[in-house]
C-alpha cells in the first residue's frame, strides 16, 4: 500500500476514516520516493526558524509525510484481543522492544528484503492507518507513539481473535530519561531525510524539545498521560535504562507478559540466550536495513549508541538545569518524580547539580503556543500538491 505524500502545515478538516482493508493490500514501499520538495518560501521559513520539517494534523505536530486519514483512523481503530502494542515516545527503545517481541512471538528472522523489514511487519499505526493494520495476520505486533488519550483500547467483542486469545490487547510502554531521549531524537531528526534538517543544531532542537514543538508532541505530556495506567493488567512498563543494565531480565519480563510461545521461549535456556544475544547493541548494529531502508537516511546508522548519559556530550550546564526544572514542574508528586536521579544529575561523582527551583523563564524563546502560531500563521505555509509516492518506512 503506497501512500501518496501531502505536505500538511495547517489543521485539516475532519474526514471519515477508513477501517476496512482493500482486497489486495500492498505492503508499504521501501524505495526512495518519499521526499516531497518544499516550496522555496517554505524551505526558507523552516531554515529561518531552524526547525525540522513538520506537519500539523488537527492541531497536533506530526512528521511531514503522515496522512491525516491514517492518523485519524489509527486513533479510532478497533484492536484485537491478540494485538501487542509497543508504545513509546520516540527514541525510548521502540525498535529494540519490537525486535525482542518479534523473536518471542514469531520465533523467526525478518528483513532486509523489501516488504519484510521490521517497520513493515510491525508498522506504526498512525503512519500506515487502520486499513493497512487490518490486512495484517494476527497476532499483530504494532507500534505507536500515541499518548494514552489517543491510543486505541477497546477491542472488538465476539471477534474470532478475541475468542482465541485474551479479551484485551497488550501494551508494552517504555520510557527513557528526557535528556538522553532529547539527544537521540536530535540525531534522528538530522538523519532522516523526511525532516530536511541534516545541518540542524542541538541548541535549536533543545528549545523545540523543551516546548513540545516536535513531531509526536511533548515528551512530558506523553509521559504523564501514561502514568495512571502503569499497573493496568494489560500494560507492561519498562525503563530503557533497566533494559541496558539487565537485558536478560527484561526479555524474561516481556516473554512472561506476552505468554504462550513467548513465555515458553524465555524458559528455554538456549532460546533465551539466543534472543538476548541477538538483542544486544552490537548485534542490532549489524544489517540495519532490517529496521529501515538506508535510502531513508542521510548518513548515520539507525541504531547509533544505545547508551545512557550521552546527553553530557551535548548539553550545557544551563540546559541540564533547565531540563531538571522542566521535569520537576511536569512530574512533581507523581510516581515518576524519583526516576532517573543518577541518569540526569550533572556531576559524575554522584553530587546532584543544584538547579534553582524557580519556574523556568525563557526570555530568548517564544512560549510554546506563540512559537507554534508564529510559523503556522505564516504566508509561506501552504499545503503542497503531490504527485509522488511516500514510504511508510521513513520515521522512527
Distance CA 43, CA 25 (A): 34
Distance CA 86, CA 248 (A): 18
CA 245 to chain centre: 22
E-strand spans in the chain?
3-4, 55-57, 60-62, 84-87, 141-144, 170-175, 235-239, 389-390
Give the count of beta carbons closer than 10 Å to the beta carbon of residue 234. 17
* DSSP secondary structure string for all residues of 50-117: T----EEETTEEE-TT--HHHHHHHHH----TT-EEEE-STTSSHHHHHHHHHHHHH-S---SSTT-S
Instruction: Determine the angle formed by the axes of helices 40-49 and 368-376, rounding to 10 degrees.
Output: 160
Q: Which of 51, 99, 145, 188 is catalytic?
A: 145
Distance CA 305, CA 54 (A): 26
In this structure, the strands spanning 170-175 and 60-62 are unpaired
Q: What DSSP state is assigned to residue 189?
A: H
Strand partners, 143: 86, 124
Give whole-number Cα distances, 335 to 187, 227, 229, in Å. 29, 7, 11
Per the CB < 8 A criterion, the answer to whether 124 and 215 are in contact is no
In sequence order, which residues have a C-beta less than 8 Å from that of residue 270 and are 6 or more positions away? none
SS3 (DSSP) at 236:
strand
Strand partners, 237: 173
Per the CB < 8 A criterion, the answer to whether 253 and 238 are in contact is yes
CA-wise closest residue to 251 among 263, 234, 261: 263
222 among known catalytic residues: no
Catalytic residue numbers, as ranges = 145
Amino acid at each position: 500500500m503506497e501512500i501518496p505524500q501531502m505536505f500538511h502545515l495547517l489543521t485539516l478538516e475532519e474526514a471519515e476514516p477508513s477501517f476496512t482493508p482493500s482486497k489486495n493490500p500492498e505492503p508499504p514501499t521501501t524505495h526512495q520516493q518519499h521526499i516531497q520538495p518544499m516550496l522555496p518560501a517554505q524551505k526558507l521559513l523552516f531554515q529561518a526558524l531552524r526547525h525540522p520539517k513538520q506537519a500539523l494534523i488537527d492541531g497536533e505536530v506530526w512528521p511531514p509525510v503522515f496522512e491525516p486519514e491514517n492518523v485519524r483512523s489509527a486513533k479510532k481503530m478497533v484492536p484485537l484481543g491478540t494485538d501487542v502494542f509497543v508504545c513509546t515516545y520516540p527514541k525510548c527503545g521502540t525498535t529494540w522492544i519490537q525486535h525482542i517481541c518479534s523473536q518471542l512471538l514469531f520465533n523467526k528472522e525478518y528483513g532486509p528484503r523489501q516488504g519484510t523489514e521490521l517497520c513493515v511487519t510491525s508498522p506504526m499505526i498512525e503512519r500506515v492507518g487502520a486499513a493497512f493494520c487490518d490486512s495484517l495476520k494476527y497476532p499483530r505486533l504494532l507500534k505507536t507513539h500515541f499518548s494514552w488519550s489517543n491510543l486505541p483500547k477497546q477491542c472488538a467483542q465476539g471477534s474470532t481473535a478475541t475468542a482465541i486469545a485474551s479479551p484485551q490487547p497488550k501494551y508494552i510502554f517504555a520510557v527513557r530519561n528526557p535528556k538522553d531521549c532529547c539527544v537521540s531524537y536530535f540525531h534522528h531528526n538530522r538523519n532522516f531525510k523526511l525532516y530536511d534538517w541534516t545541518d540542524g543544531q542541538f541548541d535549536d532542537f533543545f528549545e523545540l524539545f523543551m516546548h513540545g514543538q516536535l513531531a509526536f508532541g511533548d515528551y512530558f505530556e506523553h509521559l504523564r498521560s501514561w502514568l495512571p495506567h502503569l499497573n493496568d493488567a494489560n500494560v507492561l512498563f519498562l525503563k530503557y535504562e533497566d533494559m541496558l543494565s539487565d537485558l536478560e531480565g527484561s526479555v524474561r519480563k516481556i516473554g512472561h507478559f506476552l505468554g504462550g510461545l513467548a513465555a515458553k521461549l524465555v524458559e528455554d535456556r538456549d532460546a533465551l540466550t539466543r534472543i538476548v544475544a541477538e538483542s544486544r547493541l552490537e548485534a542490532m548494529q549489524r544489517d540495519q536495513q532490517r529496521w529501515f531502508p538506508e535510502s531513508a537516511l542521510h548518513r548515520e546508522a539507525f541504531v547509533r549508541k544505545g547508551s545512557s548519559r550521552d546527553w553530557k556530550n551535548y548539553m550545557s550546564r544551563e540546559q541540564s538545569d533547565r531540563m531538571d526544572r522542566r521535569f520537576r514542574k511536569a512530574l512533581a508528586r507523581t510516581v515518576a518524580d524519583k526516576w532517573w536521579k543518577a541518569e540526569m544529575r550533572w556531576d559524575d561523582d554522584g553530587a546532584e547539580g543544584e538547579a534553582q527551583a524557580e519556574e523556568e523563564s525563557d526570555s530568548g524563546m517564544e512560549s510554546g503556543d506563540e512559537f507554534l502560531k508564529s510559523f503556522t500563521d505564516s504566508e509561506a505555509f501552504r499545503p503542497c500538491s503531490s504527485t509522488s509516492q511516500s514510504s511508510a518506512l521513513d520515521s522512527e
